[in-house]
Amino acid sequence: MASSSSSSSTLMKYHVFLSFRGEDTRLNFTTHLLQALKDEGLDVFFDEEKLERGDQLSQALSRAIAVSNISIIVLSADYASSKSCLVELSDIMDRYSVGQHIVRPIFYHVNPSDVVKIDGSFKKSFDEHKTKRSVDEVKQWETAFAEVGKLQAWHIDGSRSDGPETQYIKDIVAYVMQKLMKHQVFLSLGEDTRLNFSNHLVNALEKVGINVFPDYETLKKGEKLPPTYSRAISASNLSILVLSKAYAS
């Protein structure tokens, strides 16, 4: 399943890219958020291993960010201690800065002002990076980190007066669905036109500023249409059906 963003002619593969530090939230909040997104039929890039990868963001991760509609960044207390998280964040914010990406952070049990000012546990992490990395590299990470702190975000502080995490997850899923459903055209197509005519049609529509949700889901006999697709059809102004030889198959 894939949807398309009007900001780029690149066909989207993932609805959501989840950026997080595994040791902080993998076994609790992030896993619950992932499941809630999947329950809505959304395709989510979730890096299972989250290993330190050296100096460069892996091509696979960079490509995953490029073909995702939205990045959700779970900024936990030790997020900035991970070099791979910071390289990942820098790539996300580069795409955001040129209007090619939707980004929404989650301040998870951290003070939002500490993100913008790079204070608290984040300052300690960046000070550690400065002893091992180049000045320019760390500066790039600091800039991206401070910028993401200025974006509209969810703040889950974990206090007794705070709402339950389950409600935050519902709100996040609702936000993602609302962003994805802003399509003017729903394109229904067969497998035999995906890489030629339909692909060219999507690109042509996007070039003139028309949002398109292309039906790239291949259903097996007896399978139901994912709820994401039903909502996309309802939210679209127009549906175009490419009736090819393989359409009914």
Q: What is the mean pLDDT of the chain?
A: 85
Mean pLDDT of 20-24: 86
- Report pLDDT for 8: 39
Band (pLDDT 50/70/90 cuts) for residue 223 is confident
The alpha-carbon radius of gyration of the chain (Å, integer) is 19
Mean pLDDT of 43-55: 64
Lowest model confidence (mean pLDDT) among 13-17, 59-63, 156-160, 164-168: 59-63
Q: Is the predicted pLDDT of residue 183 greater than 50, yes or no? A: yes
The DSSP 8-state label assigned to residue 176 in this structure reads H
- Report pLDDT for 224: 76
Mean pLDDT of 146-168: 93
- Report pLDDT for 31: 93
Provide the annotated active-site residues: 88
Q: Which residue has the higher pLDDT, 117 or 194?
A: 117
DSSP for 108-150, please give it: ESS-HHHHHHT-THHHHHHHHHHTTS-HHHHHHHHHHHHHHTT
- Report pLDDT for 207: 78
**Phi-psi bin for 243: left (phi > 0), alpha (psi -120 to 50), beta?**
beta
Residues 6 or more apart whose CB falls under 8 angstroms from that of 69 comprise 3, 5, 12, 14, 15, 16, 102, 179, 180
Q: Tell me which architecture the domain covering 14-180 has in CATH.
A: 3-Layer(aba) Sandwich (3.40)
The DSSP 8-state label assigned to residue 226 in this structure reads P
Residues 6 or more apart whose CB falls under 8 angstroms from that of 249 comprise 190, 191
Mean pLDDT of 155-161: 91
DSSP for 16-78, please give it: EEEE--HHHHTTTHHHHHHHHHHHTT--EEE-SS-----SS--HHHHHHHHTEEEEEEEE-TT
Mean pLDDT of 169-186: 85
Q: Which residue has the higher pLDDT, 226 or 64?
A: 64
C-beta of residue 128 within 8 angstroms of C-beta of residue 80? no
In the chain, % of residues over pLDDT 90: 49
Q: Is the predicted pLDDT of residue 37 greater than 70, yes or no? A: yes
Band (pLDDT 50/70/90 cuts) for residue 182 is low
Domain-wise residue ranges, the chain: 14-180, 185-241
- Report pLDDT for 136: 96
- Report pLDDT for 56: 53
Q: Is the predicted pLDDT of residue 53 greater than 70, yes or no? A: no
Considering 75-84, 188-197, 220-229, the range whose residues carry the highest mean pLDDT is: 75-84
Lowest model confidence (mean pLDDT) among 26-30, 45-49, 112-116, 151-155: 45-49
Report yes or no on whether pTM surpasses 0.75.
no
Q: Which residue has the higher pLDDT, 144 or 222?
A: 144
